[in-house]
Amino acid sequence: MAWGLALERLAMLYTGADDIRDLHGTLADLEFLRNAEVIY
Amino acid sequence: MPVVDIDTDELRRLTGHDEKDDDQLKADLFGLGLEFEGETEGGELQFEFAPDRLDRLSVEGVARSLRYQYGDDTGVYIPEVNDSDWTIQVEDSVPEERPYVTGAVVRGVDLDEAALDSLIQLQEKLHATMGRGRAKGAIGIHDLTMLKGERIEEKALVGNTQDEPDAPAELTPVGRGGANRSDAPGGETHSDATGPTITYRGVDPEGDTFVPLDSDKELSPAGVLAEHPTGEKYADVVAEYERYPAIYDELGLFSFPPVINGRRTEVSTASRELFVEMTGTDQWTIDRMLAIVCYALDARGATIEEVDVVYDPDAPGDRDGDHLVRPELDTREKTVGHDRIETTLGIELGMDEVQDLFARSGLNAMVKLGEETPEARSASKSDAAKPRSKTYEVEIPPYRVDVLHPSDLVDDVGRAYGFDKLEPKYPDIGTIGGRHERSRLERAVRTALVGMGFEDLLNFHLSSPAENYDRMAVEEGTDVLGGEEAVNVTSAYSEDYTMLRTWALPSLLHVLENNTHRRYPQELSEVGFTAHRDESANTGVSEHQTVAGAIARTDATYEDIKGRLQALATEFDVDLETPATEHPSFIDGRVADVVIDGESAGVLGEVHPRLLVERELEVPVSAFEFRLDVLRD
């Protein structure tokens, strides 16, 4: 059994990322992180 | 979630409530926590059952709960158990992987089609739950009349001993054990046995043959595993066994637990006397499973009879030499305070009411005397008599394997009262939510690191020995940062994620490795979770938040990373020292201990070129990592 709030999924919706690994984990692309627009 | 099929006609008959229609029964069962799921093709109703209440895996147990709920029965019920006649002798040859056995004789059962289906369902559901797919415990039910456990001369002996006053139970095992020691294996000449005996022993995979259920062929245990559909299904359970578990009577092998029974002792609607045996890897588990089966059969009007389980002095497991009388239907006691019941449920109850609610849960609650707190005693008489200061000693029947904690008793009181009757209300005090001190510290460190030009990362907590150790030139079990012993994942989904990371630097280097085509400088940091094995910890696992940073650029040096670390230490007003050290991931002479306020908390330095070449990084990298908690006030 696994459960969680899955905040990353909400963050995907919020940032428009279409792969969770863009945001989370060692496959993250620095270019994406650098160019993602600041949300405030 | 397991689903139990319930024949509502059976349920009406067993509860004695013919007037309840299916909808009423559904509503009543919902109150007990059994939710209606649907109907089988045969018109039985299916209920999703609460996985804690293993005693409700069959219609008998559900009926029992309803009778308590309706007030038809109250308090603890213990089935009457007649004296022992049969013995299960456990030989020293039993497989050490499955050393335990238990059993009971059941007489006067009236098995119509519905009762037999229910018994089979109970057996299957217990296998699936407590029995862990038969690995931990497996149930065999046999037609007793087909078993031959005694020889003619022993029958005569039985007649004689029955007239004698009962020998003290404690003496029996000594006599039996002693006799067994001197006997040939197989118990051929147990001259002082007082009744029929079956034996639990280990056999070679090809060591004997029998005709299993649903087959006409004589098969060896190995043959069953290879050729019989049930054998193929459960072959994994005994895959590692050198010898296979086997149960014998005078006529020979009749059961191959946990896989299949023999055809000779097959139970049918004609069976009136049953022999129930259970084997497993844990005596407690199989004894509890047996209690649940005995209660179900007792509810059908059967009589339970004891079985002596006699372990050979050289039997494997920790029961060697023991003489157990089974089934074990002893009650347990737990204590719960009146105060706790009221505060958890949010209602006020009289003591009589609480005792009544316990009784309607099938438990007995006695008010414990002499337990008032000193404050209550010194207060006025009327205060001392208030139920708040009282505690209940609650007697718990053996089928209630779910009661582990006083909270479980409060739960029962709440169910008997009716959770649907509880009025929702707002808490007395209101507070505004806020971040935990731990989160505030993490966030402050992240903000500080970002302020220094680091890019904040969020990496996975799962890693692999290759990433966590090998590619960092660190060996597991060594006394350097990252060298702690790994917490491994059982049955890992992917070989890349088999363990919890012991440190975060491997993750940072991995991100650098994946981004060699991106602009430099790359300055990365992470505040994150790590874990390692720790004998001294309660759980055997020690967990930490860690702070890691790495600078990758053409001129990255020790001084650069030290400068960042010093700035961080200054911002958090801690004292930083960096005495020289050695670490296999860093260049000798360019690596230091991170000592904060006198405590060694991590490491910093220039990452060894071997690690960089392996990752095809073409710029030098300097990095630090240390425990977050040293930055705390």
Q: Name every chain B residue with its beta carbon within 8 A of the beta carbon of A25.
A: 458-460
Is pTM beyond 0.80? Reply is no
Q: Which pLDDT score is estimated for B171?
A: 40
Instruction: Select from B149, B103, B183, B154 the least CA-distant residue to B252.
Output: B149
Number of residues written out for chain A: 40
Segments in B129-182 forming alpha helices (H): 152-163, 171-182
Using CB atoms, pick whichever of A26, A27, A33 lies closest to residue B455: A33
**Which stretch of DSSP H or E encloses residue B413?**
helix B406-417
Condensed to tens digits (0 to 9), the pLDDT of residues A1-40 reads: 456 777 777 878 887 778 877 778 888 888 888 888 887 8
Q: Given a cut of 90, is residue B551 above it in pLDDT?
A: yes
* DSSP letter string, B337-348: EHHHHHHHHT--
The secondary structure of B54-106, three-state, reads HHHCCHHHHHHHHHHHHCCCCCCCCCCEEEEEEEEEECCCCCCCCCEEEEEEE
Does A26 contact B at CB distance below 8 Å?
A: yes
Please report the pLDDT score of residue B623 as a whole number. 98
Q: How far is B132 from chain A (nearest CA, A)?
A: 16
Residue B379, pLDDT above cutoff 70: no
Answer whether residue B217 shows pLDDT above 80.
yes
Q: Do A29 and B518 touch (CB under 8 A)?
A: yes
In this structure, of B183-192, B383-392, B402-411, the range with the lowest mean pLDDT score is B183-192
Closest in B455, B459, B510 to A30, CB measured: B455
| Mean of pLDDT over chain B | 88
Query: For A30, which of B507, B510, B515 is closest by C-beta distance?
Result: B515
How does B321-347 read in b/e, with b if 16+ C-beta sit within 10 Å? bbbbebbbbeeeebebbbebbbeebee
Asked if residue B450 has pLDDT above 80, the reply is yes
pLDDT tens digits, one per residue of B503-532: 999 999 999 999 999 999 999 999 999 999
For position B62, what pLDDT does the model report?
92
Going by their DSSP bridges, the two strands B455-456 and B522-533 should be labelled as: parallel
Residue A31 in contact with partner chain B when CB distance is under 8 A: yes
Neighbours of B509 (CB within 10 A): 27
Is pLDDT at B152 greater than 70 in this prediction?
A: no
Nearest-10 crossing angle of helices B283-299, B59-70 = 70
Burial level of B479, CB count in 10 A (0-12/13-18/19+)? exposed
- A33 touching chain B per CB within 8 A: yes
- Residue B574 pLDDT more than 50? yes
Question: Chain B within 8 Å of A40 (Cβ-Cβ)?
Answer: no
Alpha-carbon gap: A34 to the closest alpha carbon of chain B (Å): 8
pLDDT at position B426: 81
From the list A26, A29, A31, the residue facing B460 with the nearest CB is A26
